[in-house]
């Protein structure tokens, strides 16, 4: 019995000793982490050896180019959807996708009763006008020669004006459906001119990129039979952050580059700056117009839009090599004092900043620095290495 009691006491002592020792370890780890510093101290000799340099932070002219991702799209002013305003069936199709067409070229013909009625109405109105005009001119001549009466002249004039009004109405009708006077009659009337066949013509010069009809298909005003585009000029759309919108103006020139043409720059101009900000990306659409006579730029091609910065824009700009990126965040080293260590040494604080746009090997800092501070411009890698070494040594103790 006594032996059992002694054994139980011995076990309790061991358990207490185990947990007691374990409990003392955690504070030591916390103390070691607290030793990590965000300040690196260097002697004057070390600063000289690594050729460390600093730069005084100041507002500087924001000159150069803003570079943003962009995409080539069709110039909507040079794009046409083509179809028939009169219902009927496709009689013939004369083009296919990829064909170059000229403005006024017939793409297809449509036949239907409505087409014949429109043409007949025009011809009747034209004949009536020709007769009324000839009669009016004859009565005018007779009246001038004092042979005809004024009453007859006025009646012929009224008939002429009525016929003219009816002809104008029919003329507008044929033009509204895409016909010309020559399509109906050119002074040499043929069966094709008077039949119920309507020629559907291209409204612009360009390339057929869509054909949505076949022979015998029923079409009406809702059918988009063809899509024709002209890529002599194209638009390039990019997205700019709202914070950068004050750095550009709408009438500036612009450059476009693409990985497809590595050593070539395309010249254009900004024609539009969006009026709304995208809620998700916080960006605004920027649109440029670019000449494309050689048709190298294709719709949906990706590249970069380079926009000159407005001459009156200013920002805090520091060398790109001053900024260290780690875990998705940007840091710089700022000199805290001119003499915080023995022998003329200096101390440098690692500070988180928010970086903006890069221009000509310098980068904009939108938050984290203020004018008058000194930021390390050369030797940043050495300072970062020293800080890492301190952290490793701290973890080892």
What is the 3-class SS of 342-379, one letter each residue? HHHEEEEEEEEEEEEEEECCEEEEEECCCCCCEEEEEC
CA–CA dist 157, 139 (Å, integer): 9
Q: Give the chain's domains with CATH numbers.
A: 36-61+314-396 (2.40.420.20), 65-75+231-308 (2.40.30.170), 84-111+196-228 (2.40.50.100), 113-195 (1.10.287)
CA–CA dist 368, 50 (Å, integer): 26
pTM over 0.85: no
CA–CA dist 331, 355 (Å, integer): 9
CA–CA dist 3, 118 (Å, integer): 123
The residues, ordered by sequence, that sit 6+ positions from 80 with a Cβ below 8 Å of its Cβ are 202, 203, 204, 206, 227, 228, 229
Q: What is the pLDDT of residue 175?
A: 79
* Tokens representing residue 339 in the block: 């003499």
Residue 231 pairs in a beta bridge with: none
3-state secondary structure 145-202: CCCCCHHHHHHHHHHHHHHHHHHHHHHHHHHHCCCCHHHHCCCCCCHHHHCCEEEEEC
Q: What is the pLDDT of residue 392?
A: 60
Q: What is the pLDDT of residue 18?
A: 40
Length of the chain: 397
Block mean pLDDT (10 aa), the chain, length 397: 47 44 43 53 85 90 82 94 92 96 95 81 89 91 86 90 89 79 59 67 95 95 95 94 81 90 91 91 93 90 88 82 88 79 77 83 88 92 81 58
């Amino acid at each position: 019995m006594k032996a059992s009691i002694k054994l139980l006491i011995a076990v309790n002592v061991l358990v207490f000793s185990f947990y007691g020792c374990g409990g003392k370890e955690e504070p030591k780890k916390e103390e070691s982490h607290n030793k990590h510093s965000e300040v690196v101290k260097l002697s004057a000799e070390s600063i000289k050896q690594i050729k460390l340099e600093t730069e005084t932070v100041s507002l500087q002219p924001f000159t150069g180019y803003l570079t943003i991702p962009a995409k080539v799209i069709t110039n909507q002013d040079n794009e046409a959807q083509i179809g028939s305003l009169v219902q009927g069936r496709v009689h013939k199709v004369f083009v296919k996708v990829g064909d170059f067409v000229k403005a006024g070229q017939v793409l297809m013909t449509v036949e239907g009763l409505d087409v014949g009625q429109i043409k007949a109405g025009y011809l009747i109105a034209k004949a009536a006008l020709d007769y009324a005009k000839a009669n009016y001119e004859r009565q005018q001549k007779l009246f001038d020669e004092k042979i005809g009466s004024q009453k007859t002249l006025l009646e012929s004039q009224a008939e002429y004006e009525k016929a003219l009004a009816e002809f104008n109405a029919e003329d507008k009708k044929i033009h509204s459906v895409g016909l010309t006077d020559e399509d109906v009659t050119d002074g040499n009337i043929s069966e094709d001119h008077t039949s119920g066949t309507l020629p559907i013509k291209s409204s612009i010069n360009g390339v057929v990129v869509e054909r949505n009809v076949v022979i015998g298909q029923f079409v009406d005003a809702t059918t988009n039979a063809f899509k024709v585009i002209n890529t002599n000029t194209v638009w390039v759309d990019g997205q700019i952050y709202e914070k950068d919108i004050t750095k550009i103006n709408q009438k500036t020139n612009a450059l476009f580059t693409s990985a497809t043409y590595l050593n070539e720059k395309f010249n254009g101009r900004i024609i539009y700056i969006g009026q709304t900000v995208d809620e998700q990306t916080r960006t605004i659409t920027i649109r440029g117009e670019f000449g494309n006579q050689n048709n190298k730029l294709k719709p949906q091609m990706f590249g970069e839009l380079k926009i000159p910065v407005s001459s009156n824009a200013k920002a805090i700009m520091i060398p790109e090599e001053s900024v260290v990126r780690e875990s998705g965040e940007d840091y710089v080293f700022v000199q805290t004092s001119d003499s915080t260590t023995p022998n003329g040494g200096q101390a440098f604080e690692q500070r988180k900043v928010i970086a903006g746009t890069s221009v000509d090997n310098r980068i904009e800092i939108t938050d984290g620095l203020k004018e008058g501070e000194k930021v390390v411009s050369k030797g940043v890698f050495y300072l970062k290495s020293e800080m890492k070494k301190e952290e490793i040594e701290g973890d080892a103790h």
